[in-house]
């Protein structure tokens, strides 16, 4: 009896072991005949692999992916015959784990993964070393895409034995390390290092994209980019080591493409840099030029601003050119052009948009620097014969004119400083030129557009011209000198205070303050007499009886001749759920200020800082979940001493408006 029980136990153990082995084997699909992935015959009669199956491709076998395929891992066996995994047409293969390519055992034999026009996704790729240069393990891409979320490791350092080749316009995305072997990249191909901090592989790239986050390092090796180097996301580039070098091909392009603010770095060198530059940054802050640079190719402005300064200026060389930009993409600061060719400076100012200025009919090569300034021109009452008034909203500085040229000025719907008229008669419009003391009639040799937006071209401008703006030959048209700007309204004590700035007050009798409960129907609530000043003058009005909740305000300037104009509308929400907000320090001597509250209403907030002219110099957005808050604001580097206004808005309602002083 005891012997029988022992025999039964042995039989049970063998059966259990058989079932375990069978289950393990059931998780593996082995291709022993050439065929399509979705064919059971390829897998010895078993169902095609799914995401839980490990796949083995035997020696001498070719498997073609003909569906949207999945598996857990792939191993290509070694041996004395070709083994190929092909992703055909637009099909895809998603490998949850590793791809392992073993080496051939005979000469002139390759083990290959070929991504045609399809898509390959995997966690990692590992290629085994081979015995000599006549045996190669390969990952090839034609026009498709291969994405490796981990490491791509070519264990053989020889470029002949382990290879990654992109033969067409395909894309390789690597989130981990990319090491060993050799590479051949078509000029239309793209390699994207899209992980965190990564070392860039020594290679000659078509297009190279650095995305994800962290620092991408060229570590003591040489990297060449013949197409576009795209700085994407939050990635930054570093070049280290004696042999570390970034080289650009003769027709290369440097692109900044991100949704967050970017600053140029080693990817934009002072010499040996890219031919072309493309700005495609959709953040509010855009791209900041960290040092002076010269571009001899094409500047393309697609999205976002390029921030420059007089020190960190962008110069377009004699062979360079620029696209026109758009209202959300322009050079925010000074810009320089060398040469004698026709050129339009795609310049503007954040918060106002693009305001280009063109130069033409240059008699000789010149180095012209231009910048758009969103404020009243200097000495704007020093007018000579031919012009009766000039813009009170904006002007251009222009320097370097050594011989005659023509200038073309522009205006848009953003040009007026408030709701008053701006341009209404193109025939009497003039380009006014400034020599540092007086404004002169710069003429009108032609206009384009309409009163809302257009251009006017001057007659010949002579050396000594340092400024340009719009002017009018008669006071009856083109009411360029608007009356006021910078209107703000904010809660103060038990009421609401309305502040504004008058730029000039020729013929102004008074300012009428109007109130509305809905922003549509306005009624006058008070007047402020004009001081008839010829310089900027600040005014205030206090509404001691505002409505609970939302209040709207606007100004109406009334002239002695009966004419009038309106300001923009401002809104104040007396939301009693907003508790006391502390603002410190004031005066500001450093670069940081803080907003603090013990109980701030939940919502999306925006912080804006305006200078005394009402120009926005800083903006920041943040989301608050409700309750206590201590929000630190990093002011822009280089803010000048003076008086500023900080405004805090929650969605469509103004929460806070405070004046502070910057002391340097």
Examine the pLDDT at 21 and tell me if it is beyond 70: no
pLDDT by residue (tens digit) across 209-268? 999 999 999 999 999 999 999 999 899 999 999 999 999 999 999 999 999 999 999 999
Label residue 266 left, alpha or beta by phi (over 0 means left) and psi (-120 to 50 means alpha): alpha
* Highest mean pLDDT, choosing among 319-323, 504-508, 624-628: 319-323
Instruction: Give the pLDDT confidence score for residue 161 in this predicted structure.
Output: 95
Instruction: Give the pLDDT confidence score for residue 577 in this predicted structure.
Output: 47
Instruction: Give the pLDDT confidence score for residue 600 in this predicted structure.
Output: 77
Instruction: Give the pLDDT confidence score for residue 586 in this predicted structure.
Output: 78
Residue 434: count of CB within 10 angstroms of its CB: 25
Question: What is the percentage of the chain residues whose pLDDT exceeds 90?
Answer: 62
Q: Which residue has better confidence, 55 or 472?
A: 55
C-alpha dihedral (350, 352, 358, 359), degrees to nearest 10: -60
The DSSP secondary structure of 540-564, one letter per residue, reads EEEESSPPSEEEEEEEEEEETTS-E
Spatial CA neighbour of 390 closest among 382, 398, 399: 382
**Encoded tokens for 94:** 């998603």
Whether the CA torsion 243, 248, 249, 250 is positive or negative: it is: negative
Instruction: Give the pLDDT confidence score for residue 623 in this predicted structure.
Output: 80
The DSSP secondary structure of 314-357, one letter per residue, reads EEE-TT-EE---BTTBSEES-EEEEESS-EEE-EEETTTEE--E
Q: Assign 125 a pLDDT band (cuts: 50, 70, 90).
A: very high
As a whole number of angstroms, the distance between CA 37 and CA 462 comes to 76
pLDDT by residue (tens digit) across 518-564? 877 889 999 999 887 767 788 999 999 998 888 888 888 887 777 66
Residues sharing a CB contact under 8 Å with residue 102, sequence separation 6 or more, in sequence order: 75, 76, 77, 78, 111, 128, 137
For the beta sheet containing 203-205, the strands, ordered from the edge strand earlier in sequence to the opposite edge, are 203-205, 222-225, 245-248
For the segment 157-165, the average pLDDT, to the nearest whole number, is: 95
Question: What is the percentage of the chain residues whose pLDDT exceeds 70?
Answer: 90
Examine the pLDDT at 373 and tell me if it is beyond 80: yes
Q: Assign 48 a pLDDT band (cuts: 50, 70, 90).
A: very high
Instruction: Give the pLDDT confidence score for residue 338 in this predicted structure.
Output: 97
Spatial CA neighbour of 157 closest among 200, 124, 127: 127
Q: Which residue has better confidence, 27 or 421?
A: 27
Instruction: Give the pLDDT confidence score for residue 23 in this predicted structure.
Output: 44
Residue 6: enclosing H or E segment and its boundaries?
helix 2-26
| HEC sequence for 564-624 | EEECCCEEEEECCCCCCEEEECCCECCCEEEEEEEEECCEEEEEEEEECCCCEEEEEEEEE
Beta bridge partner(s), residue 60 = none
For the segment 42-46, the average pLDDT, to the nearest whole number, is: 96
Examine the pLDDT at 12 and tell me if it is beyond 60: no
Q: Where do the domains of the chain lie, and which CATH numbers do they carry?
A: 1-158 (no CATH), 187-333 (no CATH), 346-482 (no CATH), 484-574 (2.60.40.10), 581-662 (2.60.40.3080)
Examine the pLDDT at 16 and tell me if it is beyond 60: no
pLDDT by residue (tens digit) across 593-607? 877 777 777 778 888
Spatial CA neighbour of 552 closest among 523, 567, 572, 568: 572
Mean per-residue pLDDT of the chain? 88
Residue 117 contacts residue 90 (beta carbons within 8 Å): yes
Examine the pLDDT at 11 and tell me if it is beyond 70: no
pLDDT by residue (tens digit) across 610-651? 887 677 788 888 788 777 777 777 787 777 888 888 888 876
Q: Assign 660 a pLDDT band (cuts: 50, 70, 90).
A: confident
Beta bridge partner(s), residue 256 = 231, 279
Residue 425: count of CB within 10 angstroms of its CB: 13
As a whole number of angstroms, the distance between CA 461 and CA 406 comes to 6
Q: Assign 492 a pLDDT band (cuts: 50, 70, 90).
A: confident
Instruction: Give the pLDDT confidence score for residue 304 in this predicted structure.
Output: 95
Residues sharing a CB contact under 8 Å with residue 641, sequence separation 6 or more, in sequence order: 661, 662, 663, 664
As a whole number of angstroms, the distance between CA 198 and CA 150 comes to 11
Q: Assign 19 a pLDDT band (cuts: 50, 70, 90).
A: very low
Examine the pLDDT at 473 and tell me if it is beyond 60: yes
Instruction: Give Cα separations from 52 to 70, 97, 153, 502 (angstroms).
Output: 8, 10, 24, 74
Instruction: Give the pLDDT confidence score for residue 24 in this predicted structure.
Output: 42
- Eight-class DSSP state of 664: -
Residues sharing a CB contact under 8 Å with residue 571, sequence separation 6 or more, in sequence order: 489, 519, 550, 551, 552, 553, 652, 653, 654
Instruction: Give the pLDDT confidence score for residue 534 in this predicted structure.
Output: 66
pLDDT by residue (tens digit) across 563-575? 666 776 788 877 6
Residue 12: enclosing H or E segment and its boundaries?
helix 2-26
For the segment 46-67, the average pLDDT, to the nearest whole number, is: 97
Q: Is 633 helix (H, G, I), strand (E, B) or coil?
A: strand
Instruction: Give the pLDDT confidence score for residue 22 in this predicted structure.
Output: 42
Q: Where are the beta strands (DSSP E) in 252-297?
A: 253-257, 262-263, 276-280, 287-288, 293-295
Instruction: Give the pLDDT confidence score for residue 18 in this predicted structure.
Output: 43
Residue 488 contacts residue 647 (beta carbons within 8 Å): yes
Q: Assign 319 a pLDDT band (cuts: 50, 70, 90).
A: very high
Instruction: Give the pLDDT confidence score for residue 301 in this predicted structure.
Output: 98
Spatial CA neighbour of 483 closest among 433, 572, 554: 554
């Amino acid at each position: 009896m005891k012997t029988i029980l022992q025999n039964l136990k042995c039989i049970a153990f063998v059966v259990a072991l058989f079932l375990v082995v069978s289950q393990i084997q059931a998780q593996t699909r082995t291709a022993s005949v050439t065929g399509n992935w979705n064919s059971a015959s390829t897998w010895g009669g078993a169902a095609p692999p799914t995401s839980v199956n490990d796949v083995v491709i035997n020696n001498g076998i070719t498997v073609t992916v003909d569906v949207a395929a999945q598996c857990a891992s792939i191993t290509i066996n070694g041996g004395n015959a070709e083994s190929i995994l092909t992703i055909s047409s637009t099909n895809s293969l998603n490998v949850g784990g590793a791809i392992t390519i073993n080496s051939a055992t005979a000469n002139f034999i390759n083990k290959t993964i070929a991504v045609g026009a399809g898509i390959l996704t995997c966690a990692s790729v590992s290629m085994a070393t081979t015995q000599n240069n006549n045996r190669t393990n390969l990952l090839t891409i034609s026009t498709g895409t291969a994405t490796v979320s981990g490491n791509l490791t070519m264990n053989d350092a020889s470029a002949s034995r382990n290879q990654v080749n992109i033969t067409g316009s395909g894309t390789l995305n690597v989130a981990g390390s990319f090491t060993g072997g050799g590479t051949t990249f078509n000029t239309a191909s793209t390699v994207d290092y899209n992980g965190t901090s990564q070392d860039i592989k020594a290679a000659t790239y078509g297009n190279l994209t650095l995305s994800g986050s962290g620092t991408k390092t060229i570590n003591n090796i040489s990297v060449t980019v013949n197409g576009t180097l795209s700085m994407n996301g939050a990635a930054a580039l570093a070049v280290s080591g004696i042999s570390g070098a970034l080289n650009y091909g003769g027709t290369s392009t440097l692109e900044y493409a991100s949704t967050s603010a970017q600053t140029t770095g080693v990817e934009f060198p002072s010499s040996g840099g890219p031919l072309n530059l493309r700005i495609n940054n959709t953040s509010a802050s855009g791209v900041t030029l960290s040092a002076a640079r010269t571009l001899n190719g094409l500047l393309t402005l697609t999205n976002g601003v390029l921030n420059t300064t007089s020190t960190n200026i962008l110069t377009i060389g004699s062979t360079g050119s620029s696209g026109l930009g758009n209202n959300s993409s322009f050079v925010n600061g000074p810009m320089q052009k060398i040469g004698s060719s026709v050129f339009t400076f795609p310049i503007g100012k954040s918060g106002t948009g693009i305001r280009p200025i063109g130069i033409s009919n240059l008699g000789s090569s010149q180095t012209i620097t231009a910048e758009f300034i969103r404020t009243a021109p200097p000495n704007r009452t020093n007018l000579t014969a031919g012009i009766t008034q000039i813009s009170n909203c904006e002007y251009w500085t222009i320097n370097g004119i050594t011989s005659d040229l023509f200038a073309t000025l522009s205006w848009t719907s953003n040009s007026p400083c408030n709701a008053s008229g701006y341009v209404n008669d193109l025939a009497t419009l003039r380009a006014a030129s400034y020599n540092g003391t007086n404004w002169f009639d710069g003429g009108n040799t032609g206009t384009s557009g309409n009163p809302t937006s257009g251009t006017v071209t001057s007659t010949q401008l002579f050396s000594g011209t340092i400024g340009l703006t719009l002017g009018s030959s008669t006071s009856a048209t083109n009411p360029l000198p608007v009356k006021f700007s910078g209107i703000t309204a904010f809660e103060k004590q038990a009421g609401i205070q309305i502040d504004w700035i008058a730029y000039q007050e020729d013929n102004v009798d008074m300012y009428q303050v109007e109130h509305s409960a809905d922003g549509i129907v306005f009624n006058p609530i008070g007047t402020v007499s004009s001081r008839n000043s010829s310089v900027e003058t600040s005014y205030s009005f206090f509404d001691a009886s505002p409505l609970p909740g939302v209040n709207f305000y606007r100004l109406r300037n009334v002239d002695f001749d009966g004419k009038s104009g309106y300001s923009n509308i401002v809104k104040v929400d007396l939301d009693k759920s907003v508790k006391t907000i502390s603002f410190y320090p004031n005066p500001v001597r450093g670069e940081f200020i803080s907003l603090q509250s013990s109980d701030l209403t939940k919502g999306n907030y925006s912080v804006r800082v305006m200078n005394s002219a009402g120009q926005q110099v800083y903006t920041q957005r943040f989301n608050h979940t409700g309750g206590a808050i201590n929000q630190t604001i990093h002011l822009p580097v280089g803010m000048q001493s003076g008086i500023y206004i900080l405004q805090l808005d929650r969605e469509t309602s103004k929460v806070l408006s405070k004046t502070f002083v910057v002391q340097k």
